């Protein structure tokens, strides 16, 4: 199974700042996704990261707040912009190939 290195693993951020999370996969991946897990909740899809084009966002998530890049088949970034305490969550990237699903270790963000 492919391995995703995600960083940072955790961070404490000030309100109004932005943070970029990176995911590097050790092999090419067909699909990449970004999920958010708020405290005590299940994972919610933020967007599908499309290689070489704009991400596909789910209802309730917008590009200005969560810009995503995927320049190639092994790397993606998610930026959480203009953070507020409500953005305190675990953010996870996930990769899917046919018959295979794998996750990054997650980035636990706390916004003060």
Partner 1 sequence: KNEVEQSPQNLTAQEGEFITINCSYSVGISALHWLQQHPGGGIVSLFMLSSGKKKHGRLIATINIQEKHSSLHITASHPRDSAVYICAVPRSYSGGGADGLTFGKGTHLIIQP
Using CB under 8 A as the criterion, which residues of the chain lie in contact with partner 1 when the complex forms? 1, 9, 31, 33, 35, 37, 41-45, 48, 58, 90, 92, 94, 96, 99-106, 108
Nearer to partner 1, 14 or 99 (CB): 99
In this structure, the dihedral spanned by the alpha carbons of residues 58, 14, 91 and 10, taken in order and rounded to 10 degrees, is 170
Q: How far is CA 82 from CA 1, 40, 85, 89, in A?
A: 35, 23, 10, 15
Nearest-angstrom CA–CA distance, 80 and 8: 13
Nearer to partner 1, 16 or 101 (CB): 101
Q: How far is the CB of 14 from partner 1 (least distance, A)?
A: 22
Q: How far is the CB of 63 from partner 1 (least distance, A)?
A: 17
Q: Distance between alpha carbon 38 and the CA centroid of its chain, in Å?
A: 13
DSSP reduced 3-state for 19: strand
Nearer to partner 1, 27 or 41 (CB): 41
Q: How far is the CB of 80 from partner 1 (least distance, A)?
A: 16
Nearer to partner 1, 14 or 42 (CB): 42
Q: How far is CA 56 from CA 41, 64, 70, in A?
A: 22, 13, 12
Q: How far is the CB of 9 from partner 1 (least distance, A)?
A: 8
């Amino acid at each position: 199974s492919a391995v995703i290195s995600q960083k940072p693993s955790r961070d404490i951020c000030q309100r109004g700042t932005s943070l970029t999370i990176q995911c590097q996969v050790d092999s090419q991946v067909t699909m990449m996704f970004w999920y958010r897990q708020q405290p005590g909740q299940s994972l919610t899809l933020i967007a599908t990261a499309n290689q070489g084009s704009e991400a596909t966002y789910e209802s309730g998530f917008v590009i200005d707040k969560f810009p995503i890049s995927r320049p190639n088949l092994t790397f993606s970034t998610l930026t959480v912009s203009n953070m507020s305490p409500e953005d305190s969550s675990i953010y996870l990237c996930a990769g899917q190939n046919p018959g295979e699903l794998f996750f990054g270790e997650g980035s636990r963000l706390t916004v003060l």
